[in-house]
Amino acid sequence: DIQMTQSPSSVSASVGDRVTITCRASQGISTWLAWYQQKPGEAPKLLIYSASSLQSGVPSRFSGSGSGTDFTLTISSLQSEDFALYYCQQYNNWPWTFGQGTKVEIK
């Protein structure tokens, strides 16, 4: 199985900060990578697919980049509603697998 490793596990930031989360795959996955946001008690929400494509309705402050094994999710200017858990997920090889999550907390 492809292992997905996110870093950091948590990040403390303030409103307006730029936040970057990294996801590394244990083997190359081209750009078959998605990013999700999950708030407490809610289902995950798709933010980014194909590594850099913004899902419809997602604010443009979210962006994704990378290919192969190294990927990043960037929030250009953190808003209060962005404090949440973020997961990456590969869909290059079955079983599709998620990273362990990164918690974005209020500083």
Partner 1 sequence: QVQLVESGGGLVKPGGSLRLSCAASGFIFGDFYMSWIRQAPGKGLEWLSYISSGSTSIYYADSVKGRFTISRDNARNSLYLQMNSLRAEDTAVYYCARSMGSADSWGQGTLVTVSS
> Which residues in the 23-62 window bind partner 1 by CB under 8 A?
32, 34, 36, 42-46, 49-50, 55
Q: Residue 70 to residues 5, 31, 65, 73, 82: CA-CA distances in angstroms?
A: 10, 10, 9, 11, 23
Nearer to partner 1 among residue 16 and residue 95 (C-beta): 95
The region of 16-24, 61-69, 71-79, 98-106 touching partner 1 under the rule CB under 8 A is 98-106
Q: Which residues bind partner 1 (CB under 8 A)?
A: 32, 34, 36, 42-46, 49-50, 55, 87, 89, 91, 94-101
